[in-house]
Structure 1
Amino acid sequence: MKTTNPGFVHDISNLERLRAGINDDESQSLRAAAQQFEAIFTQMLFKSMRQANEVFESDLMSSSNSKFFEQMHDEQMASELSSTGSLGLADLIVSQLGGEEDAQSPIPPSEQDFREAIKEAPLNLPFDTKGKQPDKAMVEKAADDALKIMQQAQPATFTAPLPPLKPQQNQRGFDSPQDFVNRMRPYAEKAAHAIGTEPSVLIAQAALETGWGKKVIKNAAGNSNNLFNIKADPRWSGNKVATNTLEFHNGIPVQQKAAFRSYDSYQDSFNDYVRFLNQNPRYSEALDQPADPVHFIRNLHKAGYATDPEYSNKVISVMDTVNRLME
């Protein structure tokens, strides 16, 4: 970690030296500018904490003069801290802007190191504060508050590696309706057996909802595997993804944003579909007479599964195609 002598924070010759050094050593100038930025950021932290503490100040101990010297004290402390790299922000800026291409990612200081840096930062103040020293408890509180803010703002390069995402299955796209039917058939047969209906109606419903698998809702990992476009209501505690959807209100299609459930696999999607129907009393009529797939999907539609007034007719039409592909 490189350090520089910050000097007096209000010495404008520092800026002149920074400007003059740009052509001499670009990397050193970048580091100096990064430290200036870190100092400004630290000053903002101190200023916010001072303002939060004003409500507890006594009129006898607080005046415009004392606030003036407190501000100069805080600015000098921020300059000293930035010169020692206590926060690590300058190192990060230099690394990301290419000033030190071969430098390793900066290692964040420990909490104890940070607190000690705050408490022990040398203050080269060129004025007489008449013996007034910052309260120790206030300084330690400032260190704690600043540390919390830095931890919350800490970029990903400062954190431990995230655990790898659980690999999702069935990421390969579908080549054709026949391919969709062939790959969905084992899942549909299992789910249809649990419901007591025909697998073709479930495949048809999934085909209509996803455009034969080509329009499955995407998430950050690539595929939500949500074949039936089941929304993530308050009862859902699993992964979810937000996207635009077309809903019908009084027969009029309206675009709106909604949260949908996200699964690790297509098998999970079929399993949750069965569970979703069984856990919702409004679908009891559809589940009471599931043997006839036409009656099943019409009762499902009637119970409010979809807002499209032609939903059940569309599923039945697709089911005719599915039955031919399953022969």
Structure 2
Amino acid sequence: MALSTPLSTALGTGGLSSDSRSIDQLKSVANRDPKAAVKETAKQFEALFMQEVMKSMRQATMSSGMMENSATQMGGEMLDQQYASKMTGLPGGLSQAIERHLQRQLGVKDGELPSAKSATATQQIPQLATRNVQPHVQSFILKHDSAAKAAEASTGIPASFMIAQAAHESGWGKREIMNKDGTSSNNIFGIKAGANWTGKVAEVQTTEYVDGKAVKVTAKFRAYANHEEAFKDYAKLISGNDRYRDVVAKANTGSAEGFAKGLQKAGYATDPDYATKLARTINTTMRVQRAMA
């Protein structure tokens, strides 16, 4: 990629706000043109902020309930993203203030960075992408990295996909299924205990969707000695059940959306918006992983 190519073009119109692969590209450009990388990083932070503003405005608007479903919700989110992109980078906007702050912080001036600071500064630029990520999110990803990679070796499903699914099911570890004695069942994938399950179980109240309506039911879930056992059992369930054959195939292509939709179609969860929510969590996980790399 030549330096004459606009950075926003090289990274794609979505940049950090919508494409986790941009982190790696930003690192590459930062090594050669730190000033341009700072400018683009500032624009991406402004885009993230504007997306949150648009989201808050949309949530504050009274819903009519007519013709509203997961598809219209996704369309609204995509429209918010486009509006945010159009409103980003305008003269006198937030990105210019962020850019000045980053330049002072990293020592970027009108020219190139001094050679002694170049390595340190270019390492800090991609790390900025994780500053708006809560610590428990990064901790969850790091904690389960080894177990997820072991499960990847036996299933072919990307470790990031499985970490994200565990994060979605457990609320990044904050909503784990508990045993009656108050200890964790370590079931971070929300796998139920069917008739063939001979291990320990945790019986709790959960939300299921019947005919599109959320209802509270009491269900039995598998219980494990630790999280590593949960990942192993998940890998065994997904790779050893014909019901999930297409899910594994789609995961092997690296498609987060295909994997998420495959799980929903196979009946892993009853939530009609499960695929949309899971795909979003996968993209978040991948973005944070790339920024921490």
Q: TM-score, normalised by structure 1?
A: 0.45
Question: Which amino acid counterpart does residue 181 of structure 1 have in structure 2?
Answer: I
Cross-structure match for 1:228:
189
Aligned match of 2:148 in 175, 188, 194? Answer: 188
Deviations 1:61-94 (A, max 9, x none): xxxxxxxxxxxxxxxxxxxxxxxxxxxxxxxxxx
Cross-structure match for 2:173:
213
Counterpart contact for 1:225–1:262, Cα < 8 Å: yes
CA–CA distance in structure 2, aligned partners of residues 263 and 221 of structure 1: 14
Deviations 1:212-255 (A, max 9, x none): 00111111261100010100001000000100010011111111
- Mapping of residues 1-327 of structure 1, within 5 Å: 176-219=136-179, 220=181, 222-291=183-252, 292-294=254-256, 295-327=258-290
Report deviation, 1:175. Answer: 5.6
Report deviation, 1:289. Answer: 3.2
Deviations 1:140-163 (A, max 9, x none): xxxxxxxxxxxxxxxxxxxxxxxx
More helix by share: 2
The structure with the largest alpha-carbon Rg is 1
CA–CA distance in structure 1, aligned partners of residues 174 and 183 of structure 2: 13
Question: Which amino acid counterpart does residue 249 of structure 1 have in structure 2?
Answer: V
CA–CA distance in structure 1, aligned partners of residues 144 and 264 of structure 2: 22
Relative contact order, CA 8 A, sep 6+: which one is greater?
2
Cross-structure match for 2:38:
none
Between the two proteins, the alignment pairs up a number of residues equal to 154
Q: Secondary structure at the match of 1:242?
A: strand
- Identity, % of aligned positions: 36
RMSD across aligned positions (CA)? 1.6
Deviations 1:178-221 (A, max 9, x none): 10011011111111222112111111111110000011111126
- Structure 2 residue runs of 5 or longer lacking an equivalent are 1-133
CA–CA distance in structure 1, aligned partners of residues 242 and 141 of structure 2: 30
Report deviation, 1:297. Answer: 2.3
Cross-structure match for 1:56:
none
CA–CA distance in structure 1, aligned partners of residues 167 and 279 of structure 2: 11
CA–CA distance in structure 2, aligned partners of residues 289 and 316 of structure 1: 13
Counterpart contact for 1:206–1:228, Cα < 8 Å: yes
Report deviation, 1:279. Answer: 3.2
CA–CA distance in structure 1, aligned partners of residues 287 and 249 of structure 2: 27
Question: Which amino acid counterpart does residue 283 of structure 1 have in structure 2?
Answer: Y
Question: Which amino acid counterpart does residue 226 of structure 1 have in structure 2?
Answer: N
- Structure 1 residue runs of 5 or longer lacking an equivalent are 1-173
Cross-structure match for 1:84:
none
CA–CA distance in structure 2, aligned partners of residues 185 and 201 of structure 1: 11
Q: Residues 289, 317 of structure 1: CA spacing in aligned structure 2 closer, same or farther, 3 A cutoff? A: closer
CA–CA distance in structure 2, aligned partners of residues 197 and 279 of structure 1: 13
Q: Secondary structure at the match of 1:246?
A: strand
Q: Secondary structure at the match of 2:217?
A: strand
Report deviation, 1:285. Answer: 1.5
CA–CA distance in structure 1, aligned partners of residues 138 and 250 of structure 2: 29
Counterpart contact for 1:201–1:293, Cα < 8 Å: no
Deviations 1:41-71 (A, max 9, x none): xxxxxxxxxxxxxxxxxxxxxxxxxxxxxxx
CA–CA distance in structure 1, aligned partners of residues 220 and 245 of structure 2: 25
CA–CA distance in structure 2, aligned partners of residues 179 and 222 of structure 1: 20
Deviations 1:4-45 (A, max 9, x none): xxxxxxxxxxxxxxxxxxxxxxxxxxxxxxxxxxxxxxxxxx
